[in-house]
């Protein structure tokens, strides 16, 4: 049950080559292979694409690797060597040339055909092809891929590297991982990470096939639109990677009929694999542009590429072409030292709202279609960073991002480490970079390439205790890998910028020789910032960066996600299981300390209830913390304060999970939204009010990502903790909120605000607020607490009940009867966001009869997306305050629901 999208065959759909005269023959070698370990004691069928762990599980040799402590129990798998074998029939004289193609081998492999060595692999991120015509036999052919233990290989590579250390040697003990992952070109987090298990996979993780042809074949096609400012003209650069059997003359026609553009080229194809570039000029200025989510549509055009030889059509390809420009603006900022750092898409500055993407599953073959990217868009995100410790995602990922308008910050796969620079290593990295850029550069969604994750920072701030005398050597290696090699190769892609690292000072880092003294400088580039100890409700603790590309807080997934991988004895916060799944030093304690700053900690006597309450409270804490920090970044977009500001990006860490464990994610493994994701839906809204206190004065900002100016007023409702109806309501005057800006619209000392509002004090009342124009509310309602909920006076047990009714769920508090009879008096939540299974369940129980949450809890556990609703039917008195939090967000949902076409009771 892994989230997201994969279907490996879609990779091939990208190569929609149409050949006439059946010039090319493809033999699919995917499907059932045989798999054996090194001493032959295990011999089993194995699916390709796939990996050893998946095969062992599918054949019942192991149980779910994610169950309890199995990550450690199954360590033996990656310490062994394994061999994949298959047979096929293909006659040798079938065509002039026959290639054996592996779209991805994980990782260190030797390939043999009919007992003869064909070639070797050592980079999971490369496609490999081997010419095998001379090795084919009539009748049955035997194909074998031997895979070395990645752990032993990495360790051998490390041992062979005697001249100097390439740190880190091993991950922190708390991660229970393997060492020297930086010596192998493989998903770096597969040896463990601070949110993920160690499963160093081995396998044929992408497709395998034979490709046979007589004249030539297209290996890869890319089309990149570029805009020429001087001539106000678009052109599309088309690059063909062609594998030809012999020299051949040909003709190529490129056309985009919809744009009235066509061009023909005489060309010739040299033997072997060659790249050819062609440019088609666009004859019209009326080109529809691709826009990020929230800023416009994502239209595309069909480009027709036709290759002819002697008048015969030999290939035809119809890629989609999206037109857009990207600039990364780093220029002086008035009133601030340093440089700006923001993206301009089609000439328009865009604030990036989103998160960071990690691998969706330890076993990539188990990634299945799901809705993670849709969930990102549903939460009003417009950007994701594909983080450098994972994998370059499959084509379908980027195709969906193109369609949804998600901007992708694409790291190269290097993270939190130094890397070797021996010729072999550099060589394989070069091949990886060339292939990935060629594969991905047609996607408009990718707006930036970035060389690595945190390696500039690791060097600059000396994570690995490198002696000062040796520093220059490490800096030289760093520059050699990311600047002299990767950057140089990537620069041929003129359609997006390149950054060497994240975080970085960008242009300033370059000035300082690519490793800045302080890559976290708030006046330059992007910043990663984490602080778990300081009070996250205090916005003063957050750095006012130009661009926040990582920040976040951990939480636990809900009980329904943990239950299938645990047993009863695991269900307490102090259990071995609970600490085993926590890979971040002191993480469990940090969450509790942070939650305790504002909430009563669960104290139920029933151990299970106490556990589920604790999971829940970590989600409330996380949601509130990330909300406060994100709101701070969004309101900092238009101002410079003490030389800092003009923040133009907020990508929290992290969107998704790789397994069922505590992490910084807003979506649990399996796709269920944590409370944070619901909060994100609000705090990333295009028009949004943000409140904060400065010297006991309440300030409300209106934030607008819309291009047009708005006239808005802030409406503040002051509630007593005891009632659901406001005690009083305050309105600001109508103010101009210019397009794409954040401006203050309300200011009042808290004391005077409360003095005019019944008997309200900081302890007895709280605020909600929204923006309105002349006719209606604009954007979601937000809330602001005047004290910690644990100190709030007047809260009562809410006794929540709910009622399924068609496509909505109505939550009611029996203690506090409805204020608004029109809505049936309760908080209404659309069931629209449920997945099919859940919808089914909702429909099944939609009997119209009211159930207490307690009665329904069991069936609901697996059905409702957020743990906020599933675990907490009977909160202990001490944590009732968090209910209020929920009620407020339900009210927000209710209003949102009212704006959509949800059916009401
Ligand atoms: C950053 C990321 C990840 C890590 C996260 C949380 O350093 O780049 O490496 O998982 O913080 O610690």
Which residue has its alpha carbon closest to ligand 1 atom 9? Answer: 416
Which residue has its alpha carbon closest to ligand 1 atom 4? Answer: 194
Which residue among 189, 193, 194 is best mutated to probe the pocket of ligand 1, counting the most ligand atoms within 8 A of its Cβ?
194
Q: 444 CA distance to ligand 1 centroid (A)? A: 27
Which residue among 355, 653, 654 is best mutated to probe the pocket of ligand 1, counting the most ligand atoms within 8 A of its Cβ?
653
CATH code, domain with 781: 2.60.40.10
Query: Is 891 a domain residue?
Result: no
Does the beta carbon of 653 lie inside 6 Å of ligand 1? yes
Query: In this predicted model, what pLDDT tens digit does every residue of 514-549 receive, in sequence order?
Result: 999 999 999 999 999 999 999 999 999 999 999 999
Q: What is the mean pLDDT of residues 336-345?
A: 98
Q: Is the pLDDT of residue 779 over 50?
A: yes
Q: What is the mean pLDDT of residues 373-390?
A: 97
Which atom of ligand 1 lies at the shortest distance from residue 416's CA?
A: 9
| Chain mean position to CA 335 | 34
Does the beta carbon of 457 lie inside 6 Å of ligand 1? no
Do 143 and 86 lie in one domain? The reply is yes
pLDDT of residue 269: 87
Query: Is 416 a domain residue?
Result: yes
- For the chain, what percent of residues have pLDDT higher than 70? 85
Using a cut of 0.75, tell me whether the model's pTM lies above it: yes
Q: 517 CA distance to ligand 1 centroid (A)? A: 21
pLDDT of residue 877: 33
CATH code, domain with 485: 3.20.20.80
Query: Is 196 a domain residue?
Result: yes
Task: Specify the residue for token string 């920072």.
Answer: 457
Neighbours of 589 (CB within 10 A): 12
For residue 150, CA distances in Å to 167, 390, 557 come to 18, 16, 30
Mean pLDDT, the chain, integer: 88
Strands (E), 18-64: 24-28, 31-37, 43-48, 50-51
Q: Which of 415, 383, 406, 420 is nearest to 648 (CA)?
A: 383
Q: Which two tokens stand for residue 294?
A: 């929230």
> Of the ranges 170-174, 287-291, 868-872, which one carries the lowest mean pLDDT score?
868-872
Which atom of ligand 1 lies at the shortest distance from residue 195's CA?
A: 10
Number of domains in the chain: 4
Query: Is 3 a domain residue?
Result: no
Q: Is the pLDDT of residue 132 over 90?
A: yes
Query: In this predicted model, what pLDDT tens digit does every residue of 806-846 receive, in sequence order?
Result: 555 566 655 555 544 444 445 555 443 333 344 444 444 44
Do 383 and 502 lie in one domain? The reply is yes
Which residue has its alpha carbon closest to ligand 1 atom 10? Answer: 194
Query: Is 883 a domain residue?
Result: no
- For the chain, what percent of residues have pLDDT higher than 90? 81
- The DSSP element (H or E) to which 159 belongs, if any, is helix 150-160
Q: What is the mean pLDDT of residues 8-13?
A: 34
Q: 196 CA distance to ligand 1 centroid (A)? A: 11
Do 32 and 165 lie in one domain? The reply is yes
Q: 654 CA distance to ligand 1 centroid (A)? A: 9
Query: In this predicted model, what pLDDT tens digit does every residue of 385-431 receive, in sequence order?
Result: 999 999 999 999 999 999 999 999 999 999 999 999 999 999 999 99
Q: 584 CA distance to ligand 1 centroid (A)? A: 10
Q: SS in 3 state form for 321-357?
A: ECECCEEEECCEECCEEEECCEEEECCEEECEEEEEE
Does the beta carbon of 194 lie inside 6 Å of ligand 1? yes
Q: Is the pLDDT of residue 275 over 50?
A: yes
Which residue among 654, 655, 663 is best mutated to probe the pocket of ligand 1, counting the most ligand atoms within 8 A of its Cβ?
654
Query: In this predicted model, what pLDDT tens digit does every residue of 158-181 receive, in sequence order?
Result: 999 999 999 999 999 999 999 999
Do 516 and 598 lie in one domain? The reply is yes
Do 116 and 146 lie in one domain? The reply is yes
Query: In this predicted model, what pLDDT tens digit does every residue of 173-230 receive, in sequence order?
Result: 999 999 999 999 999 999 999 999 999 999 999 999 999 999 899 999 999 999 999 9
Pairing of strands 336-339, 31-37: unpaired
Q: 574 CA distance to ligand 1 centroid (A)? A: 25
Classified as helix, coil or strand, 192 is strand
Do 224 and 204 lie in one domain? The reply is no
Q: Is the pLDDT of residue 300 over 70?
A: yes
Does the beta carbon of 365 lie inside 6 Å of ligand 1? no
What is the distance between the alpha carbons of residues 264 and 307, in angstroms, rounded to a whole number?
Answer: 10
Do 584 and 472 lie in one domain? The reply is yes
What are the catalytic residues? Answer: 454, 550
> Of the ranges 123-137, 238-252, 763-777, 817-831, which one carries the lowest mean pLDDT score?
817-831
Do 246 and 280 lie in one domain? The reply is yes
Which residue has its alpha carbon closest to ligand 1 atom 7? Answer: 454
Which segment, 464-478, 829-843, 877-891, is predicted with the most confidence on average?
Answer: 464-478
- Residue where a domain stops, chosen among 791, 815, 844: 791
Does the beta carbon of 414 lie inside 6 Å of ligand 1? no
- Residue where a domain stops, chosen among 616, 649, 684: 684
Strands (E), 777-836: 777-785, 800-805, 808-813, 827-830
Do 599 and 488 lie in one domain? The reply is yes
Query: Is 190 a domain residue?
Result: yes
Does the beta carbon of 657 lie inside 6 Å of ligand 1? no
Query: In this predicted model, what pLDDT tens digit does every residue of 647-694 receive, in sequence order?
Result: 999 999 999 999 999 999 999 999 999 999 999 999 999 999 999 999
CATH code, domain with 124: 2.60.120.260
pLDDT of residue 299: 98
Does the beta carbon of 611 lie inside 6 Å of ligand 1? no
Do 231 and 313 lie in one domain? The reply is yes
Classified as helix, coil or strand, 110 is strand
Please, is 424 exposed, middle or buried when counting C-beta atoms within 10 Å of its C-beta (0-12, 13-18, 19+)?
exposed
Q: Indicate the pLDDT class of residue 723, thresholds 50, 70 and 90.
A: confident
Query: Is 890 a domain residue?
Result: no
Does the beta carbon of 416 lie inside 6 Å of ligand 1? yes
CB contact set of 14 (below 8 Å; sequence gap of 6+): 395, 399
- Residue where a domain stops, chosen among 271, 304, 322: 322
pLDDT of residue 794: 86
Do 443 and 471 lie in one domain? The reply is yes
Does the beta carbon of 195 lie inside 6 Å of ligand 1? yes
Query: Is 837 a domain residue?
Result: no
pLDDT of residue 839: 40
Q: Is the pLDDT of residue 231 over 70?
A: yes
Does the beta carbon of 402 lie inside 6 Å of ligand 1? no
Do 236 and 204 lie in one domain? The reply is no
**Which domain does 746 fall in, by range?**
688-791
């Amino acid at each position: 049950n892994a989230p997201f999208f994969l279907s490996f065959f879609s990779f091939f759909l990208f190569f929609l080559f149409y050949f006439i005269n059946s010039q090319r023959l493809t033999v699919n070698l995917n499907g059932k292979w045989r798999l054996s370990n090194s001493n032959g004691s295990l011999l089993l069928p194995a699916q390709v694409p796939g990996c050893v762990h998946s095969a062992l599980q599918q054949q019942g040799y192991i149980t779910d690797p994610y169950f309890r402590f199995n990550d450690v129990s199954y360590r033996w798998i990656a310490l062994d060597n394994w061999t994949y074998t298959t047979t096929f029939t293909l006659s040798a004289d079938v065509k002039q040339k026959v290639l054996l193609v592996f779209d991805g081998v994980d990782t260190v492999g030797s390939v043999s055909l009919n007992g003869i060595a064909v070639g070797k692999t050592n980079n999971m991120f490369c496609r490999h092809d081997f010419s095998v015509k001379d090795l084919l036999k009539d009748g049955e052919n035997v194909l074998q891929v031997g895979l070395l233990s990645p752990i032993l290989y990495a360790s051998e590579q490390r041992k062979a590297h005697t001249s100097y250390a390439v740190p880190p040697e091993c991950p922190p003990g708390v991660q229970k991982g393997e060492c020297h992952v930086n010596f192998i070109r493989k998903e770096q987090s597969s040896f463990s990470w601070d949110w993920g298990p160690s499963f160093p996979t081995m396998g044929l993780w992408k497709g395998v096939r034979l490709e046979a042809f007589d004249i030539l074949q297209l290996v890869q096609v890319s089309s990149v639109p570029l805009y020429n400012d001087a001539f106000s003209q678009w052109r599309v650069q088309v690059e063909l990677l062609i594998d030809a059997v012999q020299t051949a003359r040909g003709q190529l026609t490129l056309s985009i009929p919809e744009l009235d553009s066509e061009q023909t080229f005489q060309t010739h194809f040299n033997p072997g694999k060659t790249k050819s570039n062609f440019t088609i000029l666009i004859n019209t200025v009326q080109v529809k542009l691709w826009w990020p989510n929230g800023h416009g549509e994502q239209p595309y055009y069909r480009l027709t590429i036709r290759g002819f030889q002697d008048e015969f059509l030999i290939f035809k390809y119809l890629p989609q072409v999206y037109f857009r420009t990207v600039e990364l603006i780093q220029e002086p900022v008035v009133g601030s030292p340093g440089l700006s750092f923001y993206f301009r898409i089609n000439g328009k500055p865009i604030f990036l709202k989103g998160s960071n993407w990690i691998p969706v599953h330890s076993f990539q073959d188990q990634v299945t279609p799901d809705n993670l990217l849709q969930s990102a868009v549903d939460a009003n995100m417009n950007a994701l960073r594909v983080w450098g410790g994972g994998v370059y995602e499959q084509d379908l990922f980027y195709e969906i991002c193109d369609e949804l308008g998600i901007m992708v910050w694409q790291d190269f796969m290097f993270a939190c480490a130094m890397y070797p620079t021996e010729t072999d290593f550099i060589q394989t990295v070069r091949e990886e970079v060339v292939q990935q850029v060629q594969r991905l550069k047609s996607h408009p969604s990718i707006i930036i390439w970035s060389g690595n994750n945190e390696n500039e920072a690791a060097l600059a701030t000396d994570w690995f205790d490198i002696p000062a005398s040796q520093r220059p050597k490490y800096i030289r290696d760093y520059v050699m890998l990311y600047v002299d090699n990767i950057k140089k190769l990537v620069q041929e892609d003129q359609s997006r910028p390149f950054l060497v690292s994240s975080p970085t000072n960008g242009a300033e880092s370059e000035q300082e020789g690519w490793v800045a003294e302080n890559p976290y400088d708030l006046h330059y580039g992007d910043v990663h910032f984490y602080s778990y100890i300081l009070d996250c409700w205090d916005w003063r603790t957050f750095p006012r960066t130009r661009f926040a590309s990582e920040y976040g807080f951990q939480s636990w997934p809900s009980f329904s996600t943990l239950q299938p991988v645990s047993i009863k004895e695991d269900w307490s916060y102090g259990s071995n299981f609970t600490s085993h799944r926590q890979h971040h030093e002191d993480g469990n304690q940090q969450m509790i300390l942070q939650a305790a700053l504002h909430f009563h900690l669960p104290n139920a006597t029933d151990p299970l209830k106490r556990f589920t309450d604790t999971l829940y409270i970590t989600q409330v804490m996380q949601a509130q913390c990330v909300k406060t920090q994100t709101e701070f970044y969004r309101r900092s977009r238009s101002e410079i304060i003490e030389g800092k500001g003009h923040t133009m990006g907020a990508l929290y860490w992290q969107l998704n999970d790789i397994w069922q464990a505590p992490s910084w994610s807003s979506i649990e493994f399996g796709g269920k939204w944590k409370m944070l994701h619901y909060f994100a839906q609000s705090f990333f809204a295009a028009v949004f009010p943000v409140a904060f206190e400065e010297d006991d004065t309440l300030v409300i900002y209106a934030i607008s990502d819309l291009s047009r100016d708005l006239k808005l007023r802030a409406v503040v409702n002051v509630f007593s903790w005891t009632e659901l109806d406001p005690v009083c309501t305050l309105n600001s005057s109508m103010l101009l909120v210019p397009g794409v800006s954040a401006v203050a619209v309300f200011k009042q000392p808290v004391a005077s605000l409360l003095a005019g509002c019944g008997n309200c004090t900081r302890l007895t009342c709280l605020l909600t607020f929204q923006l309105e124009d002349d006719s209606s509310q604009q954007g979601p309602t937000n809330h602001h607490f005047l004290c910690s909920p644990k100190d709030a006076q007047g809260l009562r047990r809410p006794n929540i009940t709910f009622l399924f009714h068609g496509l909505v769920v109505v939550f009611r508090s029996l203690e506090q009867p409805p204020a608004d009879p029109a809505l049936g008096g309760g908080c209404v939540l659309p069931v629209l966001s449920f997945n099919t299974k859940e919808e089914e369940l909702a429909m099944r129980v939609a009997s119209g009869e009211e159930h207490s949450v307690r009665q329904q809890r069991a069936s609901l556990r697996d059905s409702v997306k957020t743990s906020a609703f599933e675990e907490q039917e009977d909160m202990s008195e001490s944590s009732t305050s968090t209910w209020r939090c929920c009620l407020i967000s339900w009210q927000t949902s209710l209003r949102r629901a009212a704006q959509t076409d949800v059916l009401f009771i």
